[in-house]
């Protein structure tokens, strides 16, 4: 069996709401009392562990929010990424996800639209109206619009819709606003993490390219190894957090060559020393010259005593260097994990 490593806003009060809209008290956003925030935050964080993406968070948030307001409700969530686009839906067709959509959330104030989706239709090109009609948005009698902002930055919105003349009670509106404050804070954290991750990956690529620049034949090697290693990791069903470690290990496995060929695996591993979230990546880099038969370096580990990520990295590296499945297959059971070699073969054949 494959053994996994052990886991080591500020509203402008003077602006009046348009006709058919009711301004909601803004002070509840981001300032929910502890007795309300604590259980919701705990539940949302639990969900985030399984789906740590903005879309995953919003999908779960819509589901939980509908339970808190009760009754017949549909909804959608908007992510602000340059243009506003639908990031998640609740009981609306999934085909709406990814649709660029303008809406009443742009004012960044929570509001109740008692005229339904009239403003939504007015703010979007007529070419989109058939899609909105087909989704049933022309039947909406009341929309609760909950903009999501964190530290003054607009991140998107949650929108809940009722049809058939139903409305949202003041208690439901207050409950929804408080919950939106929790979602906005978590969405802000996810955005910050994604920005930091992007910067970290850019720097990592730069370091790898610097090492490869010393040897023309190695240019692009780290990126190619990372792509194959991720393919193997996905084939094993690794989680995103685990795939992150595989990516860093594959990208940095040869940067130690900046100090020469000898001992480069340990030097490369030292680059990751002290980065707690990449402890398994560090082990993978250190042991990527071990062999399945125990004749490798530095510790002559064999079989599944070799860390899983190191075995993935070794197979990916061998394939990229040879470009030949037959050459990799010839090393199965001696230098390479035979089951990972089999997984590589299936992956390559499936992609061809």
The confidence score (pLDDT) of residue 185 equals 85
Q: What is the 3-state secondary structure (H, E, C) of 7-24?
A: CCCCCCCCCCCCCCEEEC
Whole-number percent of the chain with pLDDT over 70: 78
CB atoms within 10 A of CB 251: 22
**pLDDT tens digits, one per residue of 284-329:** 999 999 999 999 999 999 999 999 999 999 999 999 999 999 999 9
Whole-number percent of the chain with pLDDT over 90: 54
> By mean pLDDT, which of 20-29, 198-207, 242-251 is the weakest?
20-29
Q: Which domains does the chain have, with CATH numbers?
A: 21-193 (3.30.450.40), 213-351 (1.10.3210.10)
80: cis peptide before it, omega within 30°?
A: no
**pLDDT tens digits, one per residue of 128-171:** 999 999 999 999 999 999 999 998 889 999 999 999 788 899 99
**pLDDT tens digits, one per residue of 92-137:** 999 999 999 999 998 888 999 998 899 999 999 999 999 999 999 9
First to last CA, the chain: 27
**pLDDT tens digits, one per residue of 48-60:** 545 668 898 899 9
């Amino acid at each position: 069996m494959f053994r996994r490593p052990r886991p080591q806003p500020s509203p402008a009060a003077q602006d009046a709401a348009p006709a058919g809209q009711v301004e909601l008290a803004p002070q509840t956003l981001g300032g929910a009392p502890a007795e309300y925030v604590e259980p919701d935050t705990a539940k949302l964080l639990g969900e985030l562990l399984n789906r740590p993406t903005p879309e995953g968070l919003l999908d779960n948030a819509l589901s939980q929010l509908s339970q808190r307001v009760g009754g017949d409700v549909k909804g959608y969530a908007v992510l602000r990424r340059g243009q506003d686009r639908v990031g998640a839906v609740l009981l609306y067709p999934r085909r709406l996800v990814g649709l660029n959509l303008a809406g009443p959330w742009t004012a960044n104030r929570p509001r109740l639209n008692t005229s339904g989706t009239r403003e939504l239709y007015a703010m979007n090109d007529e070419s989109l109206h058939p899609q909105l009609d087909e989704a049933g948005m022309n039947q909406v009698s009341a929309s609760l619009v909950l903009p999501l902002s964190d530290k003054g930055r607009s991140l998107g919105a949650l929108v809940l819709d009722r049809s058939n003349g139903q409305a949202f009670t003041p208690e439901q509106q207050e409950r929804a606003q408080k919950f939106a404050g929790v979602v906005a804070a978590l969405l802000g954290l996810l955005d910050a993490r994604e920005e930091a991750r992007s910067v970290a990956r850019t720097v990592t690529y730069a370091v790898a390219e610097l090492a490869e620049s010393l040897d023309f034949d190695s240019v692009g090697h780290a990126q190619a190894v990372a792509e194959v290693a991720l393919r193997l990791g996905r084939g094993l069903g690794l989680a995103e957090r685990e795939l992150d470690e595989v990516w860093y290990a594959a990208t940095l496995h040869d940067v130690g060559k900046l100090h020469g060929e000898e001992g480069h695996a340990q030097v490369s591993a030292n680059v990751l020393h002290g980065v707690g979230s990449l402890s398994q990546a560090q082990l993978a880099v250190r042991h990527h010259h071990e062999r399945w038969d125990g004749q490798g370096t530095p510790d002559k580990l064999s079989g599944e005593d070799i860390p899983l990520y190191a075995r993935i990295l070794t197979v990916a590296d061998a394939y990229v260097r040879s470009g030949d499945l037959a050459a990799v297959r010839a090393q199965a059971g001696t230098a390479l994990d035979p089951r990972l070699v089999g997984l590589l073969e299936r992956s390559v054949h499936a992609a061809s």
